[in-house]
Chains A and B, each alone.
Chain A
Amino acid sequence: MTRTRQLALLWILAVCLLLGHNVYLWAVKRIVPDTDIMALLPVQERDPVLQASFSHMVDAAQQRLIVLVGAEDWQDATRAADAYSAVLAGRNDIFEATPVNEKTQNDWLSLFQQHRLALLTAQQEAQLHQQPSQFWLEAALAKLYAPFGGPKLGAWQDDPFGLFAGWVQERALETPVRPRDGHLFVADDKRQYVLLPLTLKVPALSMTAQDTVLPLLKQAADAARKASPKVELIQAGVILHAANASGQASGEASTIGIGSLLGIILLMWFAFHSFKPISLILLSIGIGCLGALSVCWMLFGHIHLMTLVFGASLIGVAQDYGIYFLCNRLAADEQLDSPALLKRLLPGLGLTLLAAVIGYMGLGLTPFPGLRQMAVFSALGLVFAWLTVVCWFPLLIGSRTLKSGGLVRVYGAALQRWPLLRLNRTTLIAAVVFILAAGYGISRLGANDDIRLLQNPPKHLIDDQIKLSKLLDAPTPVQYFLVRGDSVQAVLEREEHLKARLDSLIEAKRLSGYQAMSNWVPSAHAQAARRALIEEKLLSDDGPLKGIAAQAGEDAQWIAATRNGLLAAGTPLTLEAFLQSPASEPWRHLWLGESKGVYASIVALRGLSSAAAPQVLLAAEGLDGVQWVDKVAEISSVLGRYRAYMSWVVAAAYIVVFGLLFRRYRGRTWRVLAPTALASVATLAILGYASQNLQLFHVLALMLLLGVGVDYGIFMQEHPDRRDHTPWLAVGMSAANTILSFGLLGLSSTPALQAFGLTMLLGTALVWLIVPCFGSIIRESKHE
């Protein structure tokens, strides 16, 4: 008695600490859950440079927000864009607009002009090798006499053969965006667009920032539509996806949580006709959730919104302990006091907790930080709820507190008529039919490890994204080549080898282009070779300069002056000079710099279709220091690997739980586990018949189902007598609540959570239906 009280007091102290910590977290620290979906993915540990390259690409993209304002008429588009910008201009604490700056445009060309002799396109280089002197003479003379013979940079004598102009023109083709009337311009067949590149000063993944930025964007969009009603707005940016994901997840967390709670309250009312047990169960769940949150925060230092969503379904399991105690209290003799009853129930209760925790720990074995956090959160929540039941319930619920309702009697009576498996012909036939049907169903299961399982943005965001990348012909940030070397020159040379291969892929229309540092700064080797080539083919004594002089009536002195002028622009362009000039601003993200003596860069690809990727990645084959990086494929392969891996973990968990239970149940142990195992197999078969593809999250749900289903097996085996309705009532109420909570998870629009919920829904219902069939026959006949 005193021990019970001491325990209860001790637990009050612990709960007070928890409450205090929670108040501190929410009210003082004002913690905000993470919404970054990438945080759920495994950290690439085996290759830090590769990981750095990816975060480099992602970081560059994360804070960016791109808006296209389009109309058939350019004037309409600019008017709307100006209205849009005007709304955001007032908020320079949030947005950093990238101005179309005259000065930087003015500056950027001068750097290249100083080194123009070393800058050639691949085509020009080939022409210099192949074409005779006459070809270049004609080209120069045509330029000399043409009034507007194409792009021209500076005086004729600075670029008599048009080589530098051609190189600049090729660089210009790296983006379809053009400056026009102080705006950035891009167009397709139908509309002309003003491009507004915005950079966020607030973190895109913070929910507070999202709550500020999204209404502002809407306000700006309204202003743009008011300025020209037919305007088309295309917006793309990580913040839009993040805001959508957080809105969706928090909406789902509240729907699932509230739905689950309502279900529990209704069930309790029907079973016990009293609000006391309901409030006690809610108390245990509440302490479970707060405790899990507190300790999770201390362990991880942050909490992901997905953890909270998943945690909402924890309510379904955390209630089991309270329900089990209450059902037994209801059935027990009034003479037996509650602490004594608990003592009798403790072994069963302990085992159910242990089995569930083992189930969740299986989730923790994955390399996904998000899943680990969910596993820890859930296991902790269960431990806290369990401790609340064990420490407080015996004192709070006296022997005469509960009365049973009518529903309980009707439901309890059903157990008597439930079929019981015996070793006979019917059972054997049923087993054969089951094996055949389940075998066929499971054989129909495909597999799906697509990354889109983790995130499911709405159609309008995807449409905008697709339209934008089509208009801008932007490279994908998730598929690229990573080039490494022990010096800047080694990296640039390796890039050039790779580019030579990519050029043939561009010819074969597998790619539309690539972005690389060496497009702007060729390797020193290439620059020297080009300069030598120009000197030999164009500047030699009997080269085309002589012919030009003859035509223009100039003398040898003019030839010498022109040659010297050109040679003066032949000093090598260095990477450092380029990186320091404003011209490199849009390309700096391609250069990863030096780390531990290794230099690295990214070669990004434009116009790469997923169909062409398998051919394009072969370009890296046999090239030293060149590696194909495909984050999408990598995540998919991780999901696939862990789907297979977790299947083995589930099998192993059955063995471990069997060993754990064997000490108590001996020859009856299989009866505890069989309902869950059969339900799992049947669930897989049903998914197969429904033409579902198996994914990691189905397997994870089966792991959890083991934890939940074993509870029911234990409840039933603790009271093998069929006339005792107590375990049957506890199983029914638990299962009904679990189905309510996980069934609602099946409503989630995230495919992963949906798969998880559906599996739990089917599995739990099946365990519930099957578990009475595995009652012990021997004991029962003895009682009769």
Chain B
Amino acid sequence: MNKTKFAIAALSLLALGQVQAAVPAAKIQAMLAKPSVMCGRFDQTKNLAGMKKPLAAEGRFCVVAGKGVLWRTLKPFPSTLRLTRDEIVNYQGDRVAMRLDAKTEPTVRVINNVLFSLLAGDLGQLDTLFDGDGSVDANSWTVSLKPRQAALEKAIGTIKLEGGNYVKSIVMSESSGDRTTIVFSAIQTGEGAMSKEEAALF
């Protein structure tokens, strides 16, 4: 029964990493705009253990309240990740490279429930999993999240978030030495934010 802990913990944390409202402070909560649809550009840099040069990637992301998250890597390789209520799917081109179904992997629903409650601004869920430590200025905030469970921490390390009205960047430092930095920009909100192509993927 314990055997999945690592896989799932890693998965749930990675899913959480992209959520912007993950801060246990009412001030940050108040600062964040909570649009029903939000899309934008991301630039990702990975520093992997054993590799000299960082690896860069870029793409677009969309967060739709009540539906889920779409993460489209465009460069260097097109790859799409979609998280909805009942599944997590990874497309490489048209091919489904990975699919986690809530029916066979019940944790999918938990991950997505956490995700959705975060999007709705319900910080209680996050609080059970993470220790948050942050600071707030007039227009910006910083939070670092540390998993409460040792097993989780060993699997994914810590997450650092920076933002204002929206999350500006995420840094995930894994205990294995791998580090991922994601910077968000060109954020649009409202109905027009999502392209037709993206809407079709949901």
- Listed in ascending order, the chain A residues whose CB lies under 8 Å from chain B are 100-102, 104-106, 108-109, 138-139, 141-142, 144-158, 165, 168-169, 171-182, 184-187, 195, 197, 551-554, 558, 561-562, 565, 583, 586
Contacts and interface: CB of A to CB of B under 8 A. Distances in A.
B120 interface: no
B90 A150 contact: yes
A181 to B, nearest CB: 5
A123 to B, nearest CB: 12
B32 interface: no
Given A104-B2, A146-B73, A185-B110, A178 B51 contact: no
27 contacts: A102-B150, A104-B2, A105-B2, A108-B3, A142-B92, A145-B44, A147-B73, A149-B98, A150-B11, A150-B88, A151-B8, A152-B11, A153-B155, A157-B48, A158-B176, A165-B7, A169-B7, A172-B105, A173-B104, A179-B2, A179-B5, A181-B129, A184-B1, A552-B53, A553-B53, A554-B53, A565-B50
Nearest to A141: B77
A160 to B, nearest CB: 10
A182 to B, nearest CB: 8
B7 A151 contact: yes
Nearest to A548: B51
B3 A145 contact: no
A586 to B, nearest CB: 6
B182 interface: yes
A583 to B, nearest CB: 7
Interface in B49-101: 49-53, 55, 57, 71, 73, 76-77, 79, 81, 88, 90, 92, 97-98, 100
Contacts of A552: 51, 53, 55
B149 A102 contact: yes
A172 B76 contact: no
A552 to B, nearest CB: 6
B174 interface: yes
A324 B44 CA distance: 101
Nearest to A150: B98
Interface of B: 1-8, 10-11, 14-15, 17-18, 44, 46, 48-53, 55, 57, 71, 73, 76-77, 79, 81, 88, 90, 92, 97-98, 100, 104-107, 109-110, 128-129, 149-151, 154-155, 174, 176-178, 180, 182
Contact of A151 (B11, B57, B150): B11
Contact of A168 (B6, B14, B97, B177): B6
A153 B5 CA distance: 11
B8 to A, nearest CB: 6
A187 B182 CA distance: 34
Contacts of B79: 142, 145-146, 149
A156 B79 CA distance: 18
B2 A145 contact: no
Given A145-B76, A145-B79, A151 B10 contact: yes
B3 A168 contact: yes
A554 B107 CA distance: 37
A481 B17 CA distance: 45
Nearest to A157: B50
A342 B6 CA distance: 85
Given A155-B48, A561-B50, A145 B4 contact: no
Nearest to B97: A142
B10 A155 contact: no
Contacts of B90: 142, 146, 149-150
B174 A178 contact: no
B180 A155 contact: no
A150 B79 CA distance: 13
Contact of B106 (A150, A169, A178): A178
B78 to A, nearest CB: 10
Nearest to B180: A147
A197 B1 CA distance: 11
A148 B8 contact: no
Contacts of B150: 102, 106
A169 B3 CA distance: 9
A151 B182 CA distance: 19
A148 B17 contact: yes
A130 to B, nearest CB: 15
A60 to B, nearest CB: 15
Contacts of A586: 1, 3
A176 B6 CA distance: 15
Nearest to B174: A155
Contacts of B8: 151, 172, 178-179
A516 B142 CA distance: 49
Nearest to A186: B106
Q: Which 10 A-B pairs have the closest CB atoms?
A: A148-B14, A155-B176, A172-B4, A151-B7, A145-B57, A177-B1, A105-B5, A157-B50, A155-B49, A105-B2
Of residues A106, A146, A158, A551, which shows the largest number of chain B Cβ atoms within 10 Å of its Cβ? A146
A105 B176 contact: no
Nearest to B58: A145
Contacts of A158: 176
Given A155-B174, A565-B50, 17 more contacts: A102-B151, A144-B46, A144-B48, A147-B44, A147-B73, A150-B88, A150-B98, A151-B11, A156-B48, A158-B176, A169-B105, A172-B4, A173-B105, A178-B8, A179-B8, A181-B129, A558-B51
Nearest to A153: B6
A67 to B, nearest CB: 14
A651 B159 CA distance: 83
A187 B55 CA distance: 39
Contacts of A553: 52-53
B97 A156 contact: no
A178 B10 contact: no
B106 A149 contact: no
Given A147-B18, A178-B110, A105 B151 contact: yes
Contacts of A179: 1-2, 4-5, 8
A153 B10 contact: yes
Contacts of A144: 46, 48, 55
A178 B176 contact: no
Contacts of B177: 155
Given A150-B98, A152-B14, A187 B71 contact: no
B110 A180 contact: yes
Given A106-B150, A151-B11, A178-B8, A554 B52 contact: yes
Contacts of A184: 1
A148 B3 contact: no
A739 B2 CA distance: 59
Contact of A178 (B46, B52, B77, B107): B107
B18 A148 contact: yes
A363 B181 CA distance: 80
Contacts of B81: 146-149
A549 B186 CA distance: 32
B55 A145 contact: yes
A248 to B, nearest CB: 34
Q: Which of B5, B73, B104, B128 has the most CB of A within 10 A?
A: B5
- Scoring B3, B48, B81, B92 by chain A CB atoms within 10 A of each residue's CB, the highest score goes to B3
B2 A100 contact: yes
Contacts of B48: 144, 155-157
Contacts of A169: 4, 7, 105
B176 to A, nearest CB: 3
B123 to A, nearest CB: 14
A149 B88 CA distance: 10
A62 to B, nearest CB: 19
A155 B18 contact: no
B6 to A, nearest CB: 5
Contacts of B176: 154-155, 158
